Amino acid sequence: MAKHALVLMSPIKGLRNFGNTLGVAWWAKVETNKPNVTYWFGPFLTRRSLKLNLSDFEQDLSIEGSNSVRHTFVRGRRKEPLTI
C-alpha cells in the first residue's frame, strides 16, 4: 500500500501565490554589484509587508559579500527565474 504525503500550503502563501497569478503581488527587484546579480524577492500581498521583510534579505546579501545592494519595488506577476 503506497503512502501519499499531504502537503498543505499556509493560507498566507496561498494568497501570495494567488496575488502573483493575478499580477497584483509586490516584488522587490534587488540588484548587486560584485557579483553582478539581479534577485527577485517576493511575492508579498502589500508593499508594507515587502518593506518589512526586505531589510533582512538585503542584510543576508551583504553578509555573503555582495556590494552596492539596491532595490526597486514592482507590482505585478513574476515567474522563474527569480535570480539572474
| Per-residue pLDDT tens over the stretch 34-45 | 889 999 999 999
The per-residue pLDDT for range 15-67, each reduced to its tens digit, is 888 888 888 899 999 999 888 999 999 999 999 999 999 999 999 999 999 98
Sign of CA dihedral 56, 60, 63, 65: negative
Sign (positive or negative) of CA dihedral 4, 21, 24, 71? positive
Q: What is the pTM of this model?
A: 0.78
Query: Who contacts 26 (Cβ-Cβ below 8 Å, separation ≥6)?
Result: 42, 43, 44, 45, 46, 47, 49, 50, 73, 74, 75
Q: Whole-angstrom Cα distance, residue 53 to residue 43?
A: 11
